[in-house]
Chain A
Amino acid sequence: MVLVLALGDLHIPHRAADLPPKFKSMLVPGKIQHIICTGNLCIKEVQDYLKTLCPDLHITRGEYDEETRYPETKTLTIGQFKLGLCHGHQVIPWGDLDSLAMLQRQLDVDILVTGHTHQFTAYKHEGGVVINPGSATGAYSSITYDVNPSFVLMDIDGLRVVVYVYELIDGEVKVDKIDFKKTTATTHSAH
Chain B
Amino acid sequence: MSEEIVQEEAPSLSCVVSAENRGLGSLRSVRWRLNLGILPPSPSVDDLRRVTADSRRRYAGLRRQLLVDPHVAKHGGSNSPDLVMDNPLSQNPDSTWGRFFRNAELEKMVSQDLSRLYPELGSYFQAPGCQGMLRRILLLWCLKHPESGYRQGMHELLAPLLYVLNVDIERLSEVRKIHEDHFIDKFDGLSFEENDVTYSFDFKKVLDSMEDEVGSQGNSKKVRSLDELDPEIQTIILLTDAYGAEGELGIVLSEKFMEHDAYCMFEALMSGAGGSVAMADFFSPIPAGESQSGLPPVIEASVAFYHLLSIVDSSLHSHLVELGVEPQYFALRWLRVLFGREFSLRDLLVVWDEILTADNNPLHKDSGNEESSCFNVLNSHRGALIAAMAVSMILYVRSSLFATENATTCLQRLLNFPENINLKKLVAKAKSLQILALDSKLSSSSSFIFDVAYNRSKSAVSGHNLSPGPVSPTTPLSLVPDSYWEEKWRVLHKAEELRQDSLDKQAPSGKRRWSDKVKLVLSRTESEPSPARAEKYKKGHRSSVRRSLLEDLSRHLGWEEDTETVDCFDTSNLEDRHSIEVQVEGQNETSIDSICTAEERCESGSGTSVSEENSSVFSDPASSGSSTTNDHENDTEKSSVASNLSADEIDDRRLNNPEDSPLPVSSPPEDVLLNYPHENESSGKMVSALKQRRHLSGRFQWLLKLGRNNVSQEASDKGVINETAKSANRDSKSNTADSSTACAPRSSSPTIQRDVVDQNVMGTLKNLGQSMLEHIQVLESVFQQDRVQVGSLDNSAKSNLVGKGQVTAMTALKELRKISNLLSEMLQMAPGLQSMRSWALGPQMAWVDEPVDRVEAGLDSGHPAFSDLKGVGVFAKRLFCLIDLDLVFALHCLSWLFQSTGNENLRWRDIFCFLTGVIHRLFPSQVLSGFEP
Contact = CB atoms under 8 A, between A and B. Distances in A.
Contact of A175 (B70, B87, B101, B105): B87
Interface stretch (A25-33, A37-45, A55-63, A65-73): A25-33
B513 to A, nearest CB: 66
Nearest to B85: A175
Given A1-B71, A162-B74, A179-B78, A174 B84 contact: yes
Given A162-B74, A179-B78, A31 B84 contact: no
Contacts of B84: 173-175
Interface string A170-181: 000111110100
Interface string A145-164: 00000000101010010101
A153 B71 CA distance: 15
Given A177-B79, A179-B78, A164 B71 contact: no
A31 B101 contact: yes
A27 B89 CA distance: 7
Nearest to A154: B88
A128 to B, nearest CB: 21
B83 interface: yes
Contacts of B79: 177
A31 B89 contact: yes
B83 A175 contact: yes
Contacts of A27: 89
A166 interface: yes
Contacts of B70: 155
B91 interface: yes
Nearest to B78: A179
B88 A25 contact: no
Nearest to B82: A175
Contacts of A160: 71
B71 A157 contact: yes
A19 interface: no
Most A CB within 10 A of own CB, among B78, B87, B101: B87
Interface in B57-87: 70-71, 74, 78-79, 83-84, 87
Contact of A177 (B87, B89, B101, B105): B87
Nearest to A164: B87
A74 to B, nearest CB: 23
A97 interface: no
A1 B70 CA distance: 10
Nearest to B101: A31
Contacts of A175: 83-84, 87
Contacts of B78: 179
A174 B90 CA distance: 11
B91 A25 contact: yes
A46 interface: no
Nearest to B74: A162
Contact of B83 (A25, A30, A157, A177): A177
A103 interface: no
Contacts of B71: 1, 155, 157, 160, 162
A66 B853 CA distance: 76
Contact of A153 (B83, B87, B91): B87
B79 to A, nearest CB: 7
A53 B673 CA distance: 75
A85 B230 CA distance: 57
Nearest to B79: A177
Contact of B89 (A1, A153, A157): A153
Contacts of A26: 89-91
Contacts of A1: 71
A155 B88 contact: yes
Contacts of A166: 87, 89
Contacts of B90: 26
A164 B78 CA distance: 13
Contacts of A179: 74, 78
A153 B86 CA distance: 13
A3 interface: yes
A98 to B, nearest CB: 29
Interface in B74-115: 74, 78-79, 83-84, 87-91, 101, 105
A157 B71 CA distance: 9
Nearest to A25: B91
A3 B91 contact: no
Contacts of B83: 175-177
Contacts of A31: 88-89, 101
Interface string B36-76: 00000000000000000000000000000000001100100
Interface in A85-142: none
B786 to A, nearest CB: 67
A160 B75 CA distance: 12
A173 B79 CA distance: 16
A173 B74 CA distance: 20
A164 B84 CA distance: 10
A114 B65 CA distance: 40
Nearest to B105: A30
Nearest to B69: A1
B861 to A, nearest CB: 66
A164 B88 contact: yes
A173 B71 CA distance: 22
A119 B70 CA distance: 28
A26 B70 CA distance: 18
Nearest to A1: B71
Most A CB within 10 A of own CB, among B74, B79, B89, B91: B89
Contacts of A173: 84
A26 B97 CA distance: 13
A1 B72 CA distance: 12
A3 B87 CA distance: 11
A25 B87 CA distance: 14
Nearest to A160: B71
Nearest to B97: A31
B68 to A, nearest CB: 12
A154 to B, nearest CB: 10
B107 to A, nearest CB: 12
Interface in A3-28: 3, 25-28
Most A CB within 10 A of own CB, among B74, B88, B90: B88
A174 B101 CA distance: 21
Contacts of A153: 87-89
A25 B91 CA distance: 8
Contacts of B88: 3, 31, 153, 155, 164
B104 to A, nearest CB: 9
Contacts of B101: 30-31
A78 to B, nearest CB: 15
A48 to B, nearest CB: 21
A190 to B, nearest CB: 12
Contacts of A174: 84
A81 to B, nearest CB: 15
Nearest to A162: B74
B420 to A, nearest CB: 45
Contacts of B105: 30
B327 to A, nearest CB: 38
B243 to A, nearest CB: 44
Interface string B812-854: 0000000000000000000000000000000000000000000
A166 B78 CA distance: 17
A177 B73 CA distance: 14
A155 B83 CA distance: 14
B541 to A, nearest CB: 86
Interface string B863-899: 0000000000000000000000000000000000000
10 closest Cβ pairs, A-B complex:
A26-B89, A175-B83, A175-B87, A175-B84, A164-B87, A3-B88, A153-B88, A177-B83, A157-B71, A31-B101
21 contacts: A1-B71, A3-B88, A26-B89, A26-B91, A27-B89, A30-B101, A31-B88, A31-B89, A31-B101, A153-B89, A155-B70, A155-B88, A162-B71, A164-B87, A164-B89, A173-B84, A174-B84, A176-B83, A177-B79, A177-B83, A179-B78
Given A155-B70, A157-B71, A162-B71, 13 more contacts: A26-B90, A27-B89, A31-B88, A31-B89, A31-B101, A155-B71, A162-B74, A164-B89, A174-B84, A175-B84, A175-B87, A177-B79, A177-B83
